[in-house]
Amino acid sequence: MAAISFKNIVKRYGSGKAIVQVIHDVSAEIQDGEFVVIVGPSGCGKSTLLRMVAGLEEISSGEISIGHRVVNNLEPAERDIAMVFQNYALYPHMTVYDNMAYGLKIAKIPKEEIRTRVEKAAGILELMPFLDRKPRALSGGQRQRVAMGRAIVRQPQVFLFDEPLSNLDAKLRAQTRLEIQKLHRELGITSLFVTHDQVEAMTLAQRMIVMHGGVMEQFGTPEEVYNQPATTFVASFIGSPPMNLLRHVPGIPEGSILGVRPEHLELGADGWSMVVEAVELLGAERLVYCKMGADALIVRIQEDERAPKVGETVFAKPRADRMHYFDAQTGQRK
């Protein structure tokens, strides 16, 4: 296992006037054995950052260390990492066993050690009944477990996951998230996991890096990122539904944006006056979409509360201890 260090990481493409910078001065310290999720929308630079750790992308400037060893100029095979991709990348003509064992055979690991490692990984991932099957005989979730098994047998210092659940349906994604959590608890290997799905990030991460436009907007625990978002982007990206960001509420300090999460607004007899535009039932709760002058906002209520009707005027109060203020120019938390 090993810690990972990012020091002022920059990534540029092109040259001269055509140069484009896609990663802007990212610095972070990932602890030995920690599970960190890099999350953000498409094109934010999260996969580029992961690929620089793997050695699949060159670093324009800055320094990446794995286990206190600078790896900027090391080939991927010299970095002691194992990567799990979105598309599984299994050999269709090989059995599950041979897919998991292939890298070890290339490395000339003794046959008995290969069998021990493969069977241990297969046991952890509940793949023992499938070792003689070809990938075409497996479900998508089973194929992804084989890809993870192939990484486990390498016994690397670091696991790198590049959106590994994107090809799975919602039920399988939830199931595989649990398997990844269990895997990390058992192995304790330092892991970087890239996703665009904030639910995956919140449920998997011990800490998370939120990326936007190549900038690291926040690095913290899921609780810190959710309860104390550093910027309006983080506030709007993390949480489903996202935080309400209000610009026209009377009493807001000049130059501020007021943030309040839907569950921290309470419908009642007084407060802000707003008109209901839609109501969604989500099992045990409802989302009430409202308009308050130029601001749109969402109120989350419980299923057993009275649901207002579309077109009705309602009143809502924010919890005083759950209001957030952001600079209207920079988007930074005040």
The residue extents of the domains of the chain are 4-234, 244-327
- Predicted confidence at residue 1, as pLDDT, reads 67
- Predicted confidence at residue 245, as pLDDT, reads 96
Please list, in sequence order, all residues whose beta carbon lies within 8 angstroms of the beta carbon of residue 302, skipping any fewer than 6 positions away.
284, 285, 286
Pick the CATH number of 4-234 from 3.40.50.300, 3.30.460.80, 2.30.42.10, 1.10.3720.10: 3.40.50.300
3-state secondary structure of 163: coil
Instruction: Give the tokens for residue 329.
Output: 């120019």
CB 191 within 8 A of CB 161: yes
- Predicted confidence at residue 228, as pLDDT, reads 96
Rounded to whole angstroms, the Cα distance separating 91 from 118 reads: 16
Instruction: Give the tokens for residue 276.
Output: 């209901």
Residue 12, amino acid = R
Rounded to whole angstroms, the Cα distance separating 154 from 121 reads: 10
Phi (first) and psi of residue 215, to 5 degrees: -110, 140
CB 198 within 8 A of CB 238: yes
Cα 267 to Cα 95, 138, 279, 300: the distances in Å are: 59, 50, 14, 9
Which of 193, 292, 187, 216 minimizes the C-alpha distance to 247?
292
Pick the CATH number of 244-327 from 3.10.20.600, 2.40.50.140, 3.40.50.300, 3.40.50.150: 2.40.50.140
Would you give per-residue pLDDT tens digits along the chain (334 residues)?
699 999 999 999 988 888 999 999 999 999 999 999 999 999 999 999 999 999 999 999 999 999 989 999 999 989 999 998 877 788 999 999 999 999 899 989 999 999 999 999 998 888 999 999 999 999 888 888 898 899 889 889 999 999 988 878 888 888 888 888 988 998 899 999 999 999 999 999 999 999 999 999 999 999 999 999 999 999 999 998 999 999 988 878 888 999 999 999 999 888 999 999 999 998 899 999 999 999 999 999 998 888 899 999 999 999 989 999 999 999 999 9
Given strand 158-162, what is the order of strands in its sheet?
A: 81-84, 158-162, 190-195, 35-39, 207-212, 215-220
- Predicted confidence at residue 140, as pLDDT, reads 85
What is the pTM assigned to this prediction? 0.90
Instruction: Compute the residue count for the chain.
Output: 334
Instruction: Give the tokens for residue 111.
Output: 């046959």
Please list, in sequence order, all residues whose beta carbon lies within 8 angstroms of the beta carbon of residue 276, skipping any fewer than 6 positions away.
288, 289, 290, 308, 309, 310, 311, 312, 313, 314
Cβ atoms < 10 Å from Cβ of 198: 23
Beta bridge partners of 186: none
